[in-house]
Structure 1
């Protein structure tokens, strides 16, 4: 009889203990599901924002890529070559940058920092000497000998604040 009562008490204890553990797990699952739903909304919003920010980018411009492919260029090699061509202009002697129409007002050289190729003709880039900075709008083309030619179209330097 004592064994039976002890067994029943043990079973009741295990049932109550298991039920509380299961209830806690179910609550944790609900919490994690709500956090996952919130994070999925954030990811979707960030993906939409990323799509909008990359709208003016040659990687997303099928017409510009098709233009180069129709002329027989491999865009996987051409696009880095276009970017490298502008960055190579940062290696210059003297005070005048080959494409930036300003002279550094500090002891540093003017350097192109960031480049965005918009399409098969236009580039936007920013430059700085460490203290002053600005942006340039450049067109580019490829001549008969497959040389890249850059032409400065528009430029500005931000005024120093303070």
Structure 2
């Protein structure tokens, strides 16, 4: 009789313990599924935002890439050369930057920091001397001798806030 009661108590204990463990696992699964759904929404939102941000970018502009390919250029090699050409202008002597129409108002030189090639004709870039910031809008072309020519179209310097 005692053995029977002991066995029944042991079975009840096992049943309750297993049920608690299963309930905990089910709750954890629900939490993980909720986090996964939230993460998938965030990924989708970031993909949409990335698509919007890359709209004015040569890497997503098939017409601009096709233009270069029709001219016989390999865009994988050409686009870095276009960007590097502007960065190389940071290596200049004196106070006047080759393409930025401002002179540094600090002890450091004006330098182009970030460049975005918009399409097969236009580039936007920002510049700074460490304290003052601005942007330039540049057109570019490749001449008959396969040399890059940059032309400043528009520029601005952000006012400082005191």
TM-score class normalised by the smaller sequence: over 0.9
| 1:7 Cα deviation after fit | 2.0
**Paired residues, number:** 162
Q: Distance in 2 between matches of 1:32 and 1:137?
A: 47
RMSD, matched Cα: 0.9
How many Å apart are 1:9 and its aligned residue? 1.5
Alignment of 1:123-134 (within 5 A): 123-134=123-134
- 3-state SS, counterpart of residue 161 of structure 1: coil
Rounded to whole Å, the distance in 2 between the matches of 1:159 and 1:49 is 29
Alpha-carbon distance in structure 2 between the residues aligned to 1:101 and 1:156: 9
Match of 1:159 in 2: 159
The 1-side partners of 2:94 and 2:13 are apart by 86
- The alignment status of 1:136 with 2:136, answered yes or no, reads yes
1:53 equivalent in alignment to 2:41: no
User: Quick check: 78-87 or 142-151, which moved more?
Assistant: 142-151
1 CA distance for matches of 2:84 and 2:14? 70
Question: Which range moved further: 40-49 or 73-82?
Answer: 40-49
TM-score, reference length from structure 2: 0.97
Offset of residue 4 of structure 1? 2.8
Q: How does 1:16-35 map to 2 (within 5 A)?
A: 16-35=16-35
Q: Unpaired runs of 5+ in structure 1?
A: none
Displacement of 1:106 in angstroms is 0.3
| Residue equivalent to 2:12 | 12
Q: Gaps spanning 5+ residues in structure 2: where? A: none
State how far apart, in whole Å, the 1-side matches of 2:10 and 2:159 are: 80
How far apart, CA to CA, are the structure 2 residues paired with 1:48 and 1:110?
35
